[in-house]
């Protein structure tokens, strides 16, 4: 498998599964990651958060309320408490009993079968150590060359870059996010900008290319939109249904 940098530099448009293949299996769970590999996506994207006792778990929201049978903030729960939750039944009964995985479990499941986009989730601006923990996990699993790390939080990206300057980073942004956050990226070397698809147009692409950024856009489930973004020259498309986008781009 090529490195993530070589893959982005190849000139084609890659397809990444969003939180695994979350259109086919409960998001950010092992069945979802197994499905994204089965579908043949170029890569997968997922979210990492810290528990109260400092473990890295794969969950998008700051609380467990919407995707489990429990409630409460991830940051206020221990790994043991999170392990008791059912993270699959909400999606479909066949996934009943599916648990929230740790980062290590996901990386063990994926191995070197796919490129990886790890989004570090952190709503706080003071250091909590998550960046160094993620960098250590990437290194232990020997996937430094297959991984890009992303975040909406520019301070997280700065701390991650300090911990692992050789691993590329991407700045996530969305029209609803405060516009001034991008100012905190000034002077920080980063390989990519990861915009919501609604922000991608010819002007944006000219700007990104002039600054040497790859463009990884989310969350694209419509094949016609996928084709339009490919033609604009995005580096990767992140999709809940990577098989649909793959079929449109390569069919």
In a domain, 182, yes or no: yes
pLDDT truncated to tens, each residue of the chain (251 aa)? Answer: 899 999 999 999 999 999 999 999 999 999 999 999 999 999 999 999 999 999 999 999 999 999 999 999 999 999 999 999 999 999 999 999 999 999 999 999 999 999 999 999 998 778 899 999 999 999 999 999 999 999 999 999 999 999 999 999 999 999 999 989 999 999 999 999 999 999 999 999 999 999 999 999 999 999 999 999 999 999 999 999 999 999 999 87
Establish whether 60 is a catalytic residue.
Answer: yes
In a domain, 131, yes or no: yes
Are 147 and 4 spatial neighbours (Cβ–Cβ below 8 Å)?
yes
24, 55, 60, 190: the catalytic one is 60
| pLDDT at residue 1, as a whole number | 86
- Nearest-CA neighbor of 185 among 217, 149, 161, 158? 158
Establish whether 161 is a catalytic residue.
Answer: no
The number of folded domains in the chain is: 1
We report the CATH number of the domain holding residue 236 as 3.20.20.190
18, 24, 173, 214: the catalytic one is 18
In a domain, 80, yes or no: no
In a domain, 159, yes or no: yes
In a domain, 215, yes or no: yes
Structural domain for 42, as ranges? 4-47+113-250
């Amino acid at each position: 498998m090529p490195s993530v940098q070589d893959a982005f530099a190849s000139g084609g448009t890659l397809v990444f599964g969003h939180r695994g293949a979350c259109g086919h299996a409960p998001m950010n769970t092992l069945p979802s990651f197994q499905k994204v590999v089965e579908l043949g996506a170029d890569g997968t994207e997922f979210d990492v958060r810290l528990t109260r006792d400092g473990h890295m778990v794969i969950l998008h929201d700051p609380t467990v309320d919407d995707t489990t049978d429990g409630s409460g903030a991830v940051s206020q729960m221990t790994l043991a408490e999170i392990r008791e939750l059912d993270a699959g039944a909400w999606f479909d009964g066949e996934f009943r009993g599916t648990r929230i995985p740790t980062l290590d479990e996901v990386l063990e499941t994926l191995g070197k079968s796919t490129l990886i986009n790890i989004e570090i989730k952190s709503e706080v601006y003071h250091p909590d150590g998550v960046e160094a923990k993620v960098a250590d996990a990437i290194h232990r699993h020997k996937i430094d060359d297959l991984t890009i790390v992303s975040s909406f939080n520019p301070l997280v990206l700065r701390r991650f870059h300090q911990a692992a300057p050789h691993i590329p980073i991407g700045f996530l942004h969305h029209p609803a996010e405060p516009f001034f956050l991008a100012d905190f990226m000034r002077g920080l070397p980063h390989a990519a900008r990861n915009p919501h698809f609604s922000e991608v147009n010819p002007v944006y692409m000219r700007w990104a290319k002039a600054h040497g950024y790859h463009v990884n856009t989310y969350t694209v489930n419509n094949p016609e939109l996928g084709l339009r973004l490919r033609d604009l020259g995005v580096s990767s498309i992140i999709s809940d249904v990577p098989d649909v986008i793959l079929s449109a781009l390569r069919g």
